[in-house]
């Protein structure tokens, strides 16, 4: 009985964390449009070339993006703030997923 409550709690934690991450990142566009624009612009520049299909172009593009971020510290700060937010939500979601796996097989 207790084990099933642990599983249910882990599943709810996963669903809650995943949905909160989704809502939080969607609201970013509304509440912090400058950070959203900076992140999208840098992310599109970084993803212009595939590292597998065009390794030389990808490497060159990455160096150009790093140089652009050095030249614009405000955009770099905004980009890194959004990147940290995405990373933290990813970690929380992964932790919840591991809790579900542990509850099911533990």
- What's the pLDDT tens digit per position in 2-58? 668 888 888 999 999 999 988 988 888 888 888 888 888 888 777 777 778 888 888
- Report the distance separating Cα 18 and Cα 25, nearest Å: 11
> Which structural domain, as residue segments, surrounds residue 62?
2-105
pTM score, two decimals?
0.73
- Report the distance separating Cα 41 and Cα 38, nearest Å: 5
pLDDT per residue as tens digits for the range 93-104: 999 999 889 888
pLDDT per residue as tens digits for the range 65-74: 888 889 989 9
**Number of domains the chain is built from:** 1
What are 9's two structure tokens?
Answer: 């709690």
pLDDT exceeds 90 at position 62: no
């Amino acid at each position: 009985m207790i084990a099933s409550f642990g599983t249910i709690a882990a599943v709810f934690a996963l669903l809650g964390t995943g949905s909160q991450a989704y809502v939080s990142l969607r609201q970013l566009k509304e509440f912090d449009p400058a950070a959203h624009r900076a992140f999208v612009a840098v992310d599109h520049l970084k993803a212009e070339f595939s590292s597998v299909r065009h390794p030389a172009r990808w490497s060159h593009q990455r160096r150009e993006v790093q140089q652009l971020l050095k030249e614009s510290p405000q955009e770099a700060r905004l980009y890194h703030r959004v990147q940290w937010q995405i990373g933290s939500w990813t970690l929380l979601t992964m932790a919840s997923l591991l809790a579900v796996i542990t509850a099911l097989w533990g």
